[in-house]
Amino acid sequence: MAIAFTFPGQGSQSVGMGKELADNFAEARAVFEEVDDSLGHKLSDIMWNGPEETLTLTANAQPALMAVSVAVMRVLEARGLKLADKVSYVAGHSLGEYSALCAAGTFSVSDTARLLRIRGNAMQAAVPVGEGAMAAIIGLEHCDVDAICSQAATGGVCQIANDNGGGQIVISGSKAAVEQAAALATEKGAKRAIMLPVSAPFHSALMVSAADAMRDALASVQKQSPCVPLVANVLAAPVSDADEIAKLLVEQVTGQVRWRETVEWFAANNVTTLYEIGSGKVLTGLARRIDKTVSGISINTPADIDAALQTLLG
């Protein structure tokens, strides 16, 4: 009957995120101030006041989501929660891996913010706007989508980026190839094939220059083994060695986020509760759809924190 903490990825951001935490908890305010200082501008002002299009920019959304997740963690810790005593594993969806690792002590808050700013800028710069695309395929099995991607890849890069579970798979790559794959998916019986309003083809081979940038950035930052194992995106299995984690974070830039398999791994290894730490409830919803034996609980408001502490600390 183990517990895991999970950390959301891009798409969970919204204007106003973290404001209630900052208004109620000094520990949360300190995290937002540290992130602002490490980036050299008031990201917290964009988070709380927008505009939405500025917050949604990859280079802002990634450190912003991490900041909210870590703010929640610092409040929980200040009220007596020790991660290693109560939680068996951490995991994060894409950029959420960095939030998870910061929470587990691998990276400092400042270093995590800077790493995510580098990651966001590098991913945005990897492919000229308009040359890449992503699409969500709803209602087909992983093997079917994989075959469709292989067929469409004759016209450019096309691969599975996120296996989110619940019949939702996101593909990524060259615009023409992804559009062809979306059309093929509809022909093969997909319920929906939706082109996504994204600025770059994340988690595809087109991101190789961003992977190179992250290899350099991760090599130069101080890191420690996490206090609990990370169930890594590209493995869907736990890892604890800091150098191995850095290698997997580089692979993740061009590789598949295996979230369905991650939740299935939790279920198969006696993890019954996934607490989603930070903005939104995306991962909580996915957990329910992937495996009914796993319950998801989101923590992103003061009331959520109070309820979670009652359960976790008794």
Query: Which residues are catalytically annotated?
Result: 94, 203
Alpha helices in the chain (DSSP H): 19-24, 26-39, 43-49, 52-56, 58-78, 83-86, 96-103, 109-125, 142-152, 175-187, 208-219, 242-254, 259-268, 282-290, 302-313
Beta-carbon contacts of residue 220 (< 8 Å; ≥ 6 apart): none
CA distances, 39 to each of 101, 121, 167 (Å): 19, 13, 38
- 310 burial type by CB count under 10 A (0-12 exposed, 13-18 middle, 19+ buried): exposed
Q: Which of 190, 197, 205, 194 is nearest to 153 (CA)?
A: 205
Q: Which of 313, 311, 306 is nearest to 295 (CA)?
A: 311
Cα 132 to Cα 199: distance, rounded to the nearest angstrom: 8
- 130 burial type by CB count under 10 A (0-12 exposed, 13-18 middle, 19+ buried): exposed
- In the beta sheet, which residues pair with residue 230? 90, 239
Cα 221 to Cα 297: distance, rounded to the nearest angstrom: 32
Q: Provide the pairing of β-strand 89-92 with 2-7.
A: parallel
CA distances, 91 to each of 30, 227, 266, 277 (Å): 24, 13, 10, 10
Task: Find the angle CA(242)-CA(243)-CA(245) to the nearest 5 degrees.
Answer: 65
Q: What is the CA radius of gyration of the chain?
A: 19
Q: Which two tokens stand for residue 33?
A: 């101030």
